[in-house]
Amino acid sequence: MYVYDKANELARAIKESGEYKEMVQAKETLAQKQEHVDMIKDFMKIQMNIQTMNMLNQEVNDELKESFNLLYTSMMNIEACRKFLEAQNTFGRLVQDIYKIIGDACNVMDELLEDMMPEA
- Domain contains 119: no
- Domain contains 66: yes
User: In the prediction, which pLDDT does 1 show?
Assistant: 74
User: In the prediction, which pLDDT does 48 show?
Assistant: 95
- Domain contains 112: no
Which residue range(s) make up the domain with 80? 34-104
Number of folded domains in the chain? 1
- Domain contains 68: yes
- Domain contains 29: no
- Domain contains 16: no
Give yes or no for a contact between 70 and 2, defined as CB atoms under 8 angstroms apart: no
d(CA 39, CA 61): 21
What is the number of H-type helices and E-type strands within the chain? Answer: 6, 0
> Block means of pLDDT (10 residues each) for the chain, length 120 residues?
92 97 97 97 95 94 92 96 97 96 78 66
